[in-house]
Each structure stands twice: as C-alpha cells, then as structure tokens.
Amino acid sequence: MFAARSVASKSYLPFTRAQALGVGSLHGSASCPGAKVAVVLSGCGVYDGTEIHEASAILVHLSRGGAEVQMYAPNISQMHVIDHGKGQPVEKESRNVLSESARIARGNITDLAQLNASNHDGVIFPGGFGAAKNLSTFAVDGKDCKVNADVERVLKDFHKAGKPIGLCCISPVLAARVLPGVEVTVGHETEEGGRWPYASTAQAITALGATHCVKDVTISSLRLSHEVHVDQKNKVVTSPAFMCETKLHLVFDGIGAMVTDVLKLIGKK
Ligand SMILES: *[C@@H]1O[C@H](CO)[C@@H](O)[C@H](O)[C@H]1NC(C)=O
Ligand SMILES: *[C@@H]1O[C@H](CO)[C@@H](O)[C@H](O)[C@H]1NC(C)=O
Ligand SMILES: *[C@@H]1O[C@H](CO)[C@@H](O)[C@H](O)[C@H]1NC(C)=O
Ligand SMILES: CC(=O)N[C@H]1CO[C@H](CO)[C@@H](O)[C@@H]1O
C-alpha cells in the first residue's frame, strides 16, 4: 500500500501564515556536550533501508551538538532489495539490514539486540522505507502493522526511562504503534498536488491511536524557522523530512531542529 503513491484528496489544507508562525518556534543551535545518543538504522538506501541523507543529517547535527553517537541496526534480512535506479525489487537478492546499515556507520555498528537504554540518554530513528519494511511491517500492513521486537523494546525502555526519542519521515509510525496516545507529525494530511505524496500516513497514525499534528518542514525560507513537533509529556520529537517533496537543505535543517530539541530535552533532565 505504502509503496504506491496513493491517489488521495487534492484539497488544499487552509494554513495561514499567522497560524503557521503561531505553532513554530525559533531554534537555536543548542548543544549538549557528552550526550550519549543511539541512532537506529534500517538498511542503506531510501527504498529498502534508511534514507541516507536523513541519517547523515542526524549524524552531522549530533556531531555539532557535541553528542557521542552509537549506531545500531537489527541483524535480520531486508524485506526487499530495491534497484534504486529502476525503483524495482531485485529478484532473488537478499541483504542483511545490519551489514547494509554498516555502510552508513562507516563500519562501526552494533546489533540492535544489544541496545540497552541504560547506556544512552536518547535515541533517534531516521526514516526511509526500511523503517516501514524492516523495522516494522507498515509498508505492507499499514495501521495493522507489527513492529520488530527489539525496536518495540527500545522505544518502550527509553520512554519508560523518560529519555527523549527523535524520529523523522516515516519513522514516527513506530512510536505511534508502540507508545499509546503519543503525538507525532508526518507532515501534512492531504497531498496538495504531490507536495506531500505520503499524506495518507497521517490517517494511519490516527488509526494507530496516536495524535497527528500537522507540521511543515520549514515555515518560511526567509525566517528559516524549521518545524518539529515536540510531545513534551512523552518526550517524542518528530520532523516530516522527506515526507515532503522539498529541497534537500530544508530537510537537512528541519532534521537539525529535531536533533536540537532532542538534545534540549536531554539537557533538561
Ligand atoms: C565505535 O563507536 C563507539 C561509540 O561511539 C566508540 O566508542 C568507538 O571508539 C568506535 N570504534 C571505532 C573503531 O571507531
Ligand atoms: C548476525 O546473525 C548471523 C546469523 O544468525 C550471525 O552469524 C552473525 O554473527 C550476526 N552478526 C552480528 C554482527 O551479530
Ligand atoms: C542494561 O544496562 C544496565 C546498566 O549497565 C544493566 O544493569 C542491565 O542489566 C542491562 N540490561 C540488559 C538487558 O542487559
Ligand atoms: C525479509 C523480511 O521481510 N524481513 C523483516 C523486515 O522487518 C519486518 C518487521 O519486523 C519483518 O516482519 C520482516 O520479516
């Protein structure tokens, strides 16, 4: 269901500049030196694994914020191997999520089974179809999806410990599935002529029992105000990233705002 761009309502969501600015906030470049942050990957490449630019943006912003990063991925096989040039599955090819993710981690990666929330101050999940194909079955099952057992354990443990969780793009479905009543954003709720091709994900978020909050990647290129949703109670920070067809630098900066808010929550502890 998810791989096919659904033909949904093209109606434009009324969203005035004043309303937009009302929900936005200006993000300084907060740092939290020494914060120990785990990053959970799901392969390498947008259509069958982690979205590479999102992972890279997260790592750059964590580095700038002074965090100590450790990367993890599950030691399982990918649901698909996609030829990214053709956009089609490669028949009879199988790849391992942990070994593929090791490409992004420059080799330094650990089996997700060993991620222990006690050893970290926060956790971040980049997007990409891997989150919907390997970390969960969302790509196939939508609102009836199952979540990988280690992913579920990790999300619950960080949540229980009051440690922040950052997610972007499609990854917020993982929190929506595992943390009852959580508030997340996956961007807008209608396609708006192709600007939000995966807008139907917002309905699935609601069907999962979570609250969906409409957010942009960025409000105004003049003010450079990047939107995130911060669920203060649950300490869950989400940014739409590549759910929106927009410019790479805006996705990069929107993810920066997400990382900054995760680090701020860690600093407040
Ligand atoms: C791998 O990452 C961990 C966690 O950041 C770090 O402590 C370790 O030194 C790294 N190992 C190598 C070989 O870079
Ligand atoms: C991944 O699992 C395979 C098969 O169970 C095992 O041989 C391999 O050592 C595991 N890799 C890591 C890094 O744990
Ligand atoms: C997680 O780490 C803590 C502190 O190091 C330790 O007490 C606990 O046993 C670990 N949990 C697991 C499941 O390994
Ligand atoms: C090959 C395959 O489909 N691997 C797994 C990807 O992740 C989902 C969710 O955990 C599993 O159901 C798949 O088996």
Domain regions of the chain by residue span: 6-266
Of 207, 261, 268, the C-alpha closest to 239 is 261
How far apart (Å, rounded) are the C-alpha atoms in residues 38 and 63? 12
Just give the CATH number of 6-266: 3.40.50.880
Amino acid, res. 46: V
Ligand 3 centroid from CA 181, angstroms: 28
CA-closest residue to ligand 1 atom 14: 108
Placement of tokens 């033909």 in the chain: 7
Of 52, 35, 51, 181, the C-alpha closest to 121 is 35
Per-residue pLDDT of the chain (269 residues; tens, 9 = 90+): 344 333 233 333 333 333 333 333 334 456 788 999 999 999 999 999 999 999 999 999 999 999 999 999 999 999 999 999 999 999 999 999 999 999 999 999 999 999 999 999 999 999 999 999 999 999 999 999 999 999 999 999 999 999 999 999 999 999 999 999 999 998 888 888 888 888 889 899 999 999 998 888 876 655 556 789 999 999 999 999 998 888 899 899 999 999 999 999 999 75
Residue 213 and residue 184 in contact, taking contact as beta carbons nearer than 8 Å = yes
CA angle 72, 78, 80 (to 5 degrees): 145
How far apart (Å, rounded) are the C-alpha atoms in residues 190 and 140? 21
- Of the candidates 44, 169, 213, 244, the residue annotated as catalytic is 169
pLDDT in tens, 123-141: 999 999 999 999 999 999 9
